[in-house]
Amino acid sequence: MLVGKKILLVIGGGIAAYKSLELIRLLQKAGASVVPVLTRSGAEFVTPLSVSALAGQKVHAELFDLTAEAEMGHIELSRSADLVVVAPATADLMAKLAGGLANDLASTLLLATDKRVLMAPAMNVRMWEHPATARNLETLQGFGVLTVGPDAGEMACGEFGPGRMAEPARIVEAIDATLGSGDLAGRHVLVTSGPTHEPIDPVRYIANRSSGRQGSAIAEALVRRGARVSFITGPASAPKPLGCAVIEVETAREMLAAVEAALPADAAIFAAAVADWHVKAETRSKIKKKGGETPPPIELAENPDILKTISHKPEDRPSLVVGFAAETDDVIANATAKRQRKGCDWLIANDVRPETGIMGGKNTTVTLITQDGPEAWEPMSKTAMADRLASRIAEALS
Ligand code: C5P
């Protein structure tokens, strides 16, 4: 599945570095060749000899290595691969790239590369949860850096929580998804997903029941066909899709800004359940309950309609814009009218009456509405529906 692909693998310094040996083995089994780069601290955990023996290649370690420079300069090295993978990606490596530092071979390669970068973070729970790491992750994702993991579980340091490096097999899956060479290769597709949260005060918010499952499934189906996917999600409970640039937002207004920043795109799929309103006067301090008073009124203001805004964009409008309609009554009639009103090309109508179990569930029954009218799809899993939609998108863009 990765036959002929070349992976530049940066091994950072962490206990998870031993798993990178297994990663090299799995990548080779999948047909890829691995060019290993070992940081100085990485070499404290795995030896250059074991890495080069497994990779069947010289290990690159020093920025100013005269022999290496004579053979291949570090800039060239950074560009010779199909993908740069950092596993384990330590807090330090993440911080270096987020801050633009280039003081050793690994960080220089990461800054100089013109290829996509996939990081598999691994660190202590507190380091992962530190606001500095969270900020760096956000910055990196903004640069288009892809991530896989970390997983939650017991850690080598004895603590428990998120921070374990994703298993090598999962990293290979993410690499495979990223390097997919399907019928959407070279296309950029934007997907919105999940609910939005609209704050009332610092502790309360208005939300909805969207799990984000459909959006994640669509993003993964697009990645499997080789698309470059920008996945813009509200606070969803579904796992984030692999192989995408993930941009996390909270409110509808933030989602619109993130969508506009991610353009241009060949297609845009608006699967998010965006709140129609936000609280007009969000308070900075918690609204207090005082005895005997009537409850405080909450005045709402309209949110921007992201689908409508992008559908009517004079410039940068994706050539295919797809919206969703969650309806409880007169599903087809309402959805057909909605397609017109929103100005999108396709609209996918869902019957979300509670008895259908669609909202938050694993299965769905949809009707695709195009300019040619409604087309009912049989009931299927959200993953199967995502695959069918991705195939139709590939057809439409071809
Ligand atoms: O109007 P309604 O919420 O039913 O429209 C649903 C479609 O519009 C979905 O594709 C949803 O992602 C999108 N939408 C949006 N911004 C809003 C409201 C809905 O993009 N503020």
Let me know whether 288 and 380 are in one domain.
Answer: yes
Q: Which atom of ligand 1 is nearest to the CA of 276?
A: 21
- Residue 70 in this model has a pLDDT that exceeds 60: no
Instruction: Tell whether 39 is covered by a domain.
Output: yes
Instruction: Tell whether 183 is covered by a domain.
Output: no
Q: Is residue 157 flagged as an active site residue?
A: yes
Domain that holds residue 263: 188-397
Alpha helices in 72-167 (DSSP H): 74-79, 91-99, 105-112, 125-129, 131-142
Amino acid at 336: T
Let me know whether 298 and 336 are in one domain.
Answer: yes
Average pLDDT over every residue of 103-121: 93
Domain boundary among 150, 178, 206: 178
Average pLDDT over every residue of 163-172: 93
Q: Which atom of ligand 1 is nearest to the CA of 324?
A: 10
Task: Name which residue sits closest to atom 8 of ligand 1, judged by CA.
Answer: 307
Let me know whether 325 and 205 are in one domain.
Answer: yes
Query: Which range, of 16-20, 155-159, 259-263, 380-384, averages the lowest pLDDT?
Result: 155-159
Using the mean position of ligand 1's atoms as its centre, give its distance from the Cα of residue 391 in Å. 23
Average pLDDT over every residue of 157-177: 88
- Residue 78 in this model has a pLDDT that exceeds 80: yes
Strands, DSSP E only, in 283-394?
300-302, 320-327, 346-351, 363-364, 366-370, 373-376, 380-381
Let me know whether 357 and 216 are in one domain.
Answer: yes
260-300: pLDDT as tens digits: 999 999 999 999 999 999 999 888 888 888 777 788 889 99
- Residue 66 in this model has a pLDDT that exceeds 70: no
Let me know whether 134 and 228 are in one domain.
Answer: no
- Residue 68 in this model has a pLDDT that exceeds 70: no
Instruction: Tell whether 1 is covered by a domain.
Output: no
Q: Which atom of ligand 1 is nearest to the CA of 322?
A: 10
Probe residue for ligand 1, chosen from 309, 324, 346 as the CB with the greatest number of ligand atoms within 8 Å: 324
Instruction: Give the tokens for residue 398.
Output: 């071809």
Of the residues 53, 111, 132, 157, which is catalytic?
Answer: 157
Amino acid at 166: A
Task: Name which residue sits closest to atom 7 of ligand 1, judged by CA.
Answer: 324
Instruction: Pick 360 or 218 by higher pLDDT.
Output: 218
Using the mean position of ligand 1's atoms as its centre, give its distance from the Cα of residue 173 in Å. 32
Task: Name which residue sits closest to atom 5 of ligand 1, judged by CA.
Answer: 325
171-215: pLDDT as tens digits: 998 898 788 667 898 899 999 999 999 999 999 999 998 899 999
Probe residue for ligand 1, chosen from 192, 303, 305 as the CB with the greatest number of ligand atoms within 8 Å: 305
Peptide bond into 354 cis (omega under 30): no
338-385: pLDDT as tens digits: 999 999 999 999 888 877 777 767 788 899 999 999 999 998 888 889
Instruction: Pick 152 or 373 by higher pLDDT.
Output: 373
Task: Name which residue sits closest to atom 17 of ligand 1, judged by CA.
Answer: 305
Task: Name which residue sits closest to atom 13 of ligand 1, judged by CA.
Answer: 307
Task: Name which residue sits closest to atom 6 of ligand 1, judged by CA.
Answer: 325
**Distance, CA of 169 to CA of 310 (rounded, Å):** 38
Alpha helices in the chain (DSSP H): 17-29, 48-55, 66-71, 74-79, 91-99, 105-112, 125-129, 131-142, 168-178, 213-224, 252-262, 306-311, 331-342, 382-397
Instruction: Tell whether 149 is covered by a domain.
Output: yes
Instruction: Tell whether 125 is covered by a domain.
Output: yes
Using the mean position of ligand 1's atoms as its centre, give its distance from the Cα of residue 365 in Å. 19
CA proximity to 24, closest of 121, 48, 363, 354 = 48
Using the mean position of ligand 1's atoms as its centre, give its distance from the Cα of residue 347 in Å. 10
CB atoms within 10 A of CB 243: 28
Report the pLDDT value the prediction gives residue 182, as an integer from 0 to 100.
76
Q: Which atom of ligand 1 is nearest to the CA of 342?
A: 8
Let me know whether 322 and 235 are in one domain.
Answer: yes
The model's confidence at residue 67, banded by pLDDT at 50, 70 and 90, is low
Domain boundary among 123, 144, 178: 178
> What residues line ligand 1, using a CB cutoff of 6 Å?
192, 252, 270, 272, 274, 276, 303, 305-307, 323-325
Average pLDDT over every residue of 16-45: 96
With pLDDT > 70 as the criterion, what percentage of the chain qualifies?
97
**Distance, CA of 253 to CA of 127 (rounded, Å):** 30
Report the pLDDT value the prediction gives residue 284, as an integer from 0 to 100.
84
Domain boundary among 160, 178, 196: 178
Using the mean position of ligand 1's atoms as its centre, give its distance from the Cα of residue 113 in Å. 38
Q: What is the CATH number of the domain that holds 360?
A: 3.40.50.10300
Using the mean position of ligand 1's atoms as its centre, give its distance from the Cα of residue 244 in Å. 22
- Residue 72 in this model has a pLDDT that exceeds 70: no
Let me know whether 168 and 228 are in one domain.
Answer: no
Report the pLDDT value the prediction gives residue 294, as an integer from 0 to 100.
84
- Residue 64 in this model has a pLDDT that exceeds 60: yes
Q: Are 36 and 59 within 8 A, CB to CB?
A: yes
- Residue 236 in this model has a pLDDT that exceeds 90: yes
> For the chain, how many structural domains are there in total?
2
**pTM, 2 dp:** 0.66
Report the pLDDT value the prediction gives residue 351, as an integer from 0 to 100.
84
Average pLDDT over every residue of 52-75: 78
| Chain mean pLDDT for the chain | 91
Using the mean position of ligand 1's atoms as its centre, give its distance from the Cα of residue 259 in Å. 13
> Helix, strand, or coil here: 213?
helix
